[in-house]
Structure 1
């Protein structure tokens, strides 16, 4: 019997795409099968700031019976996110790890830890192999995460220089956000002004599509930069604030598939960047809506996978967690009601814009502000006892409102106070307004997806992505694990 089991195990090892599972502990050991063809259609989805809590919160707010596509993927893993010089990373170092398979210092875009050596990205390698490439994001196209896939810079703050590298990148499809580096202030701050980015892109052979109709007119093989309305940081609107006439992340992903598909294959990175921005603001409702929007983009890739299962790889992960989100808090104990967040009708950022207008016009009184809370957050509504404002709540809000109506540069304390009340009532907790070192999830399906199970550093994910696509390359001498300097003895 033992000989039969050994023979069967060896047979499984020889079968393409098979793994041997230890049923006692439930681990799967993925085998490397040289004869298995590489993935020719590779999707990397990055939910910026998206930890497991953010994923679960989005699921909890879905309509009854709905589910997230990403959590249905059969392969799961866990990734640590440390930079070489910081236990808590930023999007530049984390994006570099995912794009190149190499660790680096925070603030660094696809360059080594010495900030002198450029690191070859998976986009550049894919282009050398004849594949088409695409980069889609809901934030500025020159923001840290997308930049790591097409640009090289010793500092993420050099955004005009980063944006100017788009035209020479060879990327076939840029979509989603605009370039903050093209704003007059950013050009004025740049060490060297390369000129208007739109003009550079047009001169370099790119088509610029500013709406869905213009993008649909673009034919495969024509490089294009697609964007619609954008905010003061060149980003798309939060999903819950978005104009229904504007393209969302899913629409940009679908158009990317149409434009990139070809016999030699493609690589496309899609980033849900506004998830991170919502986490920085501790805006739980906006987090849930943007994770759901990100997940709809994943569904576009899954639809393509169903027609090309043997050649498609989909990997969904995050660059880091943000905010230390917890689904449960001390105030609520075990009585958590996350769906109370559905009473929030606009993002905290959009509400802060309203408060800024109130301050400038000086016509809104505190009772009027309370009426707005019921309209936009459900707070004060008599239809649910969990939404009723106590006398203490009203006093706290009045103090915050009065402070926020003072002339600039007095900070807006009213909007965060409102959001905090709704979060507490919903059972939501936040540990910070910055990134954390909490490991992030990985979900995968398709060709060589088994390579992405287990627990490993983000640099390993970047390396495995290249291996799955059939790209050979050196392994990272720095595996991405933060190593603090040894303690020195007291003099």
Structure 2
């Protein structure tokens, strides 16, 4: 084998020599090379150069964006929606900020107990490279072994500054996966205690879930954070003034919505800070000579899809794309030192681009008629319907104003193209409203199969409205839960080439460890 390799190398050297001699005969004015036209020396120089190109410094600045519940359907529906809006409903797409990243991979998402993961076990895989049981954060399925996250490793071993951001609760499963170790994702108070002791530099987004514990008699998690050296900021004006020298910080969104999370993008006011603003501020306070790691989660994509609200999902996917733009602006200044990853923990809702009622057609421009999220409609309208037993004709008017859906009589009087209920759809809506008034939301075990398939655990009226708008636009959901779809991994920057291909979600951690050279 050795003789054969030497023979092949000799033949290659002869070929190179012949090429150089011929080139020299045809161009006698060329300057001699640094190796004096020695083919062997040139080959050695070429090999050395190639090795130097392969060996790159670890990425100094790492951004990991996680769209909770976001797989290809959520991304593509947002892209097509934007394209339809900008082109008057025509078949055009508009790419999100990360869709043109040079490297795209696919990650499997199953965990130790199911082909369909939950967020806790999924983030454990991404953050620590270990599979575990559903509902568990950074521990094995026996709850006896704790796993160290990539964020913890980078902090302890390399002195990187660490930022954890989310549009949902800061002690929710996905953000917790980078600093907490719990046998249950529902241990919100204990997770909050670990946050306070983490030593991480920057937390931002939604507030704590159960800040006083499930018994509501423990010391506030906000007080614990302050006792552990965190500056707790609860207004945008304070957040704007924040500087790196202010030290460890927890920013809670000034305007909180359902379950003390940030507003859905569709409900947020124009001057209200979005995920992109918290990313921008994070870059300002984390930037340093040693490096930083930032995880930013678009958590409400998942919440919207659990409730089958495609429009809210689309707007929050766009919000995540806008946040990625801030990282891209930083990358353009530090292209050789920055790595940006955009991925997800799982897909939620079984979203499909296509519906039985529209066959091969879509009418995505219809979706712009929806003005508020399902959650805001529940809070501001449905709660009052229940209290006042509002007549159905008034409910229909509110549905027309907030979702653009109307009866044929209203459509006849309208001056613009309308989305009209069929008689079948109107009957579905009436039945849903009657159930909202008589039962409201219910647990799956308290419902018949038909009731669950129609309403899930959502408010019957609201989910029926979003189903009808989705379906009439050419979108549909087949679940109120997570699905087993693989998720994309988009990558750009230092080490991005490592993230192409089809692999397990645990490999995201393993690739980050290899690139950063931590133990």
| Structure-2-length-normalised TM-score | 0.82
Secondary structure of 1:270 counterpart: strand
1:80-229 alignment to 2 at 5 Å? 80-128=108-156, 129-182=158-211, 184=212, 186-188=213-215, 195-221=219-245, 222-228=247-253, 229=255
Instruction: Give 1:388's match in structure 2, choosing from 417, 420, 435.
Output: 420
Structure 1 pair 423–470 and aligned structure 2 pair: CA distance change class (3 A): same
Closer, same or farther in 2 for the Cα pair 1:311/1:143, shift >3 Å?
A: same
How many pairs does the alignment contain? 452
* 1:146/1:271 contact within 8 Å kept: yes
Partner SS state of residue 361, structure 2: coil
Cα RMSD of the aligned pairs, angstroms, is: 2.5
- In 2: Cα distance, 1:468 partner to 1:95 partner: 19
Greater Cα shift, 375-384 or 149-158 = 375-384
Q: Deviations over 1:134-178 (max 9, x none)?
A: 000000011001001011101111111101111110110000011
1:56-67 aligned within 5 A? 56-62=76-82, 63-64=85-86, 66-67=94-95
Following the alignment from structure 1 to structure 2, what is the Cα–Cα distance between the partners of residues 354 and 364? Answer: 13
Q: What residue is the counterpart of 2:32 in the other structure?
A: none
Residues 133/385 of structure 1: CA separation in 2 closer, same or farther (3 Å cut): same
Identify if the C-alpha distance between structure 1 residues 133 and 363 changes in structure 2 by more than 3 Å, giving closer, same or farther: same
**Shift in alpha-carbon separation, 1:336–1:219, aligned structure 2, 3 A:** same
In 1, distance between residues paired with 2:330 and 2:440? 51
Do 2:301 and 2:313's aligned partners in 1 also have CA atoms closer than 8 Å? yes
Instruction: Kindly indicate which of the two structures has a greater share of residues assigned to helix.
Output: 2
SS at match of 1:181: coil
Unaligned runs of 5+ in 1: 19-32, 473-491
The 8 Å contact of residues 71 and 488 in structure 2, kept in 1 or not, is answered as yes
Q: Aligned runs of 1:271-420 on 2, under 5 Å?
A: 271-362=297-388, 364-380=390-406, 381=411, 382=414, 387-406=419-438, 412-420=459-467
242-251 or 276-285, which deviates more:
242-251
Mapped to 2, the partners of 1:105 and 1:205 lie a distance apart of 33
Whole-angstrom distance in 2 between the partners of 1:112 and 1:12: 45
Aligned-partner SS, 1:282: coil
Gap runs ≥5 in structure 2: 1-7, 17-41, 88-93, 443-457
- Determine the C-alpha separation between the residues in 2 that align with 1:17 and 1:426: 53
1:246 has 2:246 as partner: no
Residue of structure 1 equivalent to 2:68: 48
The offset of 1:11, in angstroms, is 5.5
Q: 1:407 to 1:85 in 2, by over 3 A?
A: closer
Deviation at 1:386, TM superposition (A): 6.1
> Aligned-pair distance for 1:3?
4.7
Query: How far does the alpha carbon of each residue in 1:254-277 deviate from its partner, in whole angstroms, 9 at most, with x for none?
Result: 000000000000000000000000
Match of 1:329, SS state, is coil
Please name the residue that 2:504 is paired with. 457
